[in-house]
Structure 1
């Protein structure tokens, strides 16, 4: 929930309760005192409308799931403000004669105030339910963030393991290259040894043949 919205909401609830008290008090007044109360109510309504506009702008700037909850609250507050405006219209009506005004105060105004009180009670109940929904949304959002953090941690671990595997693969590839080079060297050495054996064998054969020839010529004389 936006702390900015909650601040505006707190101000509106206090202002609405104060306006309701002033309307109730003004209904039993006459003359200048009543005009003064009416002026206070008008100023309060202007202030309440400004707060509702601020809450509306703040709510529309938030995430969709939170925005839906806050806009539902705003509808209740706008309905409450409309009731206060209706009470104000009845107070400022200048076409009523004193007897009609008295009758209005005794019947219509009492009924209107009763209805307004009932609506305000329903508003408080609805606000409580919306606050509970907001708390559940907060819990869900917190769980989502924790899950996201866990997912990021797992991805980091997997990335680290991938880097280790790539490094090990590179090391094994280097070892394989070294083994291949060693095989080539050993093969070349083996070929040279075989060639040297052939040369030595040929030399020994020539020497033996030379010795035999020498012995033959010596014995033949």
Structure 2
């Protein structure tokens, strides 16, 4: 049975993803500061879900080999769901930023300081770099989970091969034992027949001896 902590983290992750999906469905209907607030809340929830998922990965790594494969499969599925939600969040955040930039550009067209424009562009580049770094880290973790799953699969296969060999040896031992039992049964039957034969021979000899004794007695005492 998987660890209780893994199951608790699984419940926490599902709850967090439920909240994220709910907000993602309504984010397109919101505008302005309300949309920004929703995006920030979604980012925090995504970070919480990421921490929970990392804890699940740690629990899966120390779980017994017989349960590790199913636990890693669940982690991989959760990772895929989280990455999909993050992509939707990045798209919503990018759309909101682009809209704000267009509005700001319309308001300050021809009057905005080039240094301010450069700083805004730098901030967008930094945000893009951070998004790429997070995506790269997620891909690296997914590759690590895949490699660990492959290792677990190999270990499980080796265990199954070992168990198959044990079953084959046990089957051979049972067959050998059955052969020995059959042989012993034949020997006992043969011994039983020999005992019966010996008893019949002994009874025959006793009867012959009694007949001879009877004949001698008759001849000695009654024949005159």
User: TM-score, with normalisation over the residues of structure 2?
Assistant: 0.56
Question: Which structure 1 segments of 5+ residues have no match?
Answer: 1-61
Q: Which has the larger radius of gyration?
A: 1
Find the partner of 1:67 among 77, 82, 96.
77
Question: Which structure 2 segments of 5+ residues have no match?
Answer: 1-71
TM-fit CA distance, 1:194:
1.2
Matched, 1:187 2:195: yes
Matching residue of 1:119: 127
CA deviations on 1:75-126 (whole Å, 9 max, x unpaired) are: 55445434532443245439946xx212347355433321110011112222
Matching residue of 1:142: 150
> Matched residues in 2 for 1:132 and 1:149: separation?
26
Q: Which has the higher contact order (CA 8 A, sep 6+)?
A: 2
Structure 1 pair 169/148, CA: closer, same or farther in 2 (3 Å)? Answer: same
Structure 1 pair 92/126, CA: closer, same or farther in 2 (3 Å)? Answer: closer
> Matched residues in 1 for 2:123 and 2:93: separation?
9
Structure 1 pair 210/95, CA: closer, same or farther in 2 (3 Å)? Answer: closer
Helix, strand or coil at the partner of 1:102: coil
Structure 1 pair 177/160, CA: closer, same or farther in 2 (3 Å)? Answer: same
What's the Cα RMSD here? 3.1
User: TM-score, with normalisation over the residues of structure 1?
Assistant: 0.56
TM-fit CA distance, 1:207:
4.1
Structure 1 pair 64/207, CA: closer, same or farther in 2 (3 Å)? Answer: closer
Q: Is the 8 A contact 1:66 1:137 kept in 2?
A: yes
